[in-house]
Structure 1
Amino acid sequence: MGKIVSIGETLVEVMADSSGCGFLEPMSFTGPFPSGAPPIYISQAARMGAATAYISTVGDDDFGKVNLDRLRSDGVDISAIAIDPILPTGHAFVRYRPDGNRDFCYNITYSASGQTKMTPEAANVIAASTHLHVVGNSMFTDEIREMTAQAAAQIKARGGTVSFDPNLRKEMLAQPGLREAIEKVLSFTDLFLPSGDELFLGVETTDVNEAIAQHLASGMKAVVHKRGAEGATYYDGTLVLNQPPFPAQEVDPTGAGDCFGGAFTALWTSGESAAECLRLAAAAGALAVMKRGPMSGAENAETVRAFADKHTRRVQGAKHV
């Protein structure tokens, strides 16, 4: 098994204890929770048994320590996480609206994470890695975009692979250069992990089957379309697998997609069958929503497998095409 590396933002999440719209009045909160899409992903991948490393920057503060302690305890190589002596660790205050959507008040771009650069430690981690995982919402600076492209080129030149989870908020697409950066990432992606309409990034169609065909024709090895409460579907050009969702009492949906991706990639890069990758990833995603806090529901491989076996939600509708 090789080493999985990811690059991006690191932050803490502080969650309002009451539902409502916005933050215009005093209210109680719970947190800080370690967070950020790539840290959630890499935490889950490590818990599934993969060798992992993470490249980022945190502040010299307690919020940074919360994240470093969690990643270290999960077995992630944190040697390439720099500590900025001036800027604070990123943060996100989150409040759920009555309809289930969320309001955010956050600082990432102008936090320590915005200073993430190619350090000697980062270069060493990339040189030792065989798989790169890219998260779209982490590509918020030119330096991170450049590092991502450089890491992908190096890893693929050695016969390694790249996975990509867009995880994009709509307003992010207005950032100068981001659409171009996403198109570049798509060009070197082996494993595509879109949610919902993210499937149509980089293609000239709104038809699901045609979008899948175009992605696979571009050189992707597999596409895993995450469809929330409808489950997930795997495509590789010869095989289609449909995985129904596992039953879960939802407490906090934040990070479910990242836990799904971390579990799937850890298993996929180790040579596990597509069906088992999909089944256990779906189980990891279900477990993730049952605890409050973005990483709180990331479980180890034994717990994920036991949960999946107990509920026996096997892959359905497998067919060769």
Structure 2
Amino acid sequence: MFDIATSGELLAEFMAETRGQRFDATGRFHGPFPSGAPAIFASQAARMGARVAYAGRVGDDGFGDLVIARLQADGIDVAAVQRDGERPTGTAFVSYQQDGSRQFIFNLAHSAAGRQTLEDDQLERLTACRYFHVMGSSLSSPAAIGIVKRAVARVRARGGKISFDPNVRPELVGRPGVSEALLDLLARCDIFLPSDADLDWLSEPGEDIEQTAMRLMASHAMSLLVLKRAASGCVAYRGGERFEVAGLTVTEVDPTGAGDCFGGALIASLAAGRELSEALCLANAAGAHAVTVLGPMEGCSDLATLEQRLVAAGVDE
């Protein structure tokens, strides 16, 4: 049995060299980097010792080789990662703006990622897991939503837990069925990992972040909600308890993937039987470490690295 399994987009990412670089002008890009939000999550979890399985689809090309090689190097089971001989591996181009925001150009719908399927034998093997993680970015089409729903239903029937990072993206929520799928996963998850922006999207008129979190906990079956607050750390809600853990001070190089690393470290820690307070500290350290390295998966880290960061910051787990 796997500790953790996930499914979703796999892509090669290119990052603009200069902040404020425009897509309608010639510029330099770093890359390709292996990427995909669920892949970053999986890499972080696997590097911490969790047994992780992945389902996705890449092209039969050099970018696909790059992505699969990284997953395998991290110890991730890729038996359910398919190769597409007709469509290329998905790509993303990213440019950071002067205010810290990002602009993206994605090719996913018309790439191999847009034709992912999941055969019954792959589904059976993948869902033999204790935790199944869903990224909102993976709910990008009716077919992708169908794959996730099948997996979630099978994992829940087997007694596994569902963790869900809504990762709400404006370019996705307007597509048919995406908002409904996000809300459906919210109702089915055991562990919910939103950001401030995600809770803003879910808030009702007049609510602040705290009130939204408490309402969601009260109205859904989730047992744990962890609000990711980037450099400010995180706040967790479990039953009637509230845990707040301060962030670590680091020099930011590239924030891409920090939230995914946070989630991977948290779920891997819980799968390893760690107390919630310790898991939150390690998750904060993973998110902090991720932003110090250029590249979406390049900042994934092992347990020893995270423990060293916590010691250096004077944090008692």
TM class, shorter-chain normalised?
over 0.9
When structure 1 is superposed on structure 2, of 223-232 and 195-204 the one drifting more is: 195-204
Does residue 136 of the first structure (1) align with residue 136 of the second (2)? yes
- CA separation in 1, counterparts of 2:103 and 2:135? 21
Give 1:242 deviation, angstroms.
Answer: 0.9
- CA separation in 2, counterparts of 1:269 and 1:103? 35
What's 2:292 paired with? Answer: 290
Helix, strand or coil at the partner of 1:91: strand
Give 1:135 deviation, angstroms.
Answer: 0.3
When structure 1 is superposed on structure 2, of 143-152 and 44-53 the one drifting more is: 143-152
Distance 1:21 1:27, change over 3 A: closer
Give 1:238 deviation, angstroms.
Answer: 2.5
Give 1:120 deviation, angstroms.
Answer: 4.1
* Conserved? CA contact 1:244–1:313, under 8 Å: no
Give 1:31 deviation, angstroms.
Answer: 0.5
Distance 1:202 1:98, change over 3 A: closer
* Conserved? CA contact 2:54–2:126, under 8 Å: no
What's 1:198 paired with? Answer: 198
Q: What letter is aligned with 1:90?
A: G
What's 1:309 paired with? Answer: 311
Does residue 227 of the first structure (1) align with residue 229 of the second (2)? yes
Give 1:21 deviation, angstroms.
Answer: 4.3
CA RMSD of aligned residues (A): 1.6
Distance 1:125 1:22, change over 3 A: farther
What's 1:50 paired with? Answer: 50
- CA separation in 1, counterparts of 2:169 and 2:158? 33
Identity in percent: 41
- Which of 232, 248, 251 is matched with 2:250 structurally? 248
- CA separation in 2, counterparts of 1:26 and 1:91? 18
Pairing of 1:60-139 with structure 2 (within 5 A)? 60-139=60-139
Does residue 17 of the first structure (1) align with residue 49 of the second (2)? no
Give 1:171 deviation, angstroms.
Answer: 2.7
Give 1:309 deviation, angstroms.
Answer: 2.0
Distance 1:51 1:100, change over 3 A: same
What's 2:29 paired with? Answer: 29
Give 1:261 deviation, angstroms.
Answer: 0.3
What's 1:319 paired with? Answer: none
What's 1:278 paired with? Answer: 280
What's 2:217 paired with? Answer: 216
- CA separation in 2, counterparts of 1:124 and 1:77? 14
- CA separation in 2, counterparts of 1:201 and 1:154? 28
Give 1:97 deviation, angstroms.
Answer: 1.5
Does residue 259 of the first structure (1) align with residue 255 of the second (2)? no
Unaligned runs of at least 5 residues, structure 2: none
TM-score (norm 2): 0.95
Give 1:54 deviation, angstroms.
Answer: 0.7
- CA separation in 1, counterparts of 2:260 and 2:114? 21
When structure 1 is superposed on structure 2, of 148-157 and 276-285 the one drifting more is: 148-157
- CA separation in 2, counterparts of 1:208 and 1:126? 35
Q: What letter is aligned with 1:150?
A: R
Q: What letter is aligned with 1:44?
A: Q
Q: What letter is aligned with 2:298?
A: S
What's 1:178 paired with? Answer: 178
Deviation string, structure 1 residues 139-168 (Cα, Å, up to 9, x no partner): 112122112111111111221100010112
Give 1:126 deviation, angstroms.
Answer: 2.5
* Conserved? CA contact 2:231–2:288, under 8 Å: no
- CA separation in 2, counterparts of 1:143 and 1:122? 16
Q: What letter is aligned with 1:102?
A: R
Q: What letter is aligned with 2:263?
A: G
How many corresponding residue pairs? 315
- CA separation in 2, counterparts of 1:45 and 1:274? 16
Helix, strand or coil at the partner of 2:40: helix
Unaligned runs of at least 5 residues, structure 1: 316-321
* Conserved? CA contact 1:9–1:36, under 8 Å: yes
Distance 1:181 1:307, change over 3 A: same
- CA separation in 1, counterparts of 2:66 and 2:12? 8
Give 1:274 deviation, angstroms.
Answer: 0.8
When structure 1 is superposed on structure 2, of 102-111 and 258-267 the one drifting more is: 102-111
Distance 1:202 1:26, change over 3 A: closer
TM-score (norm 1): 0.94
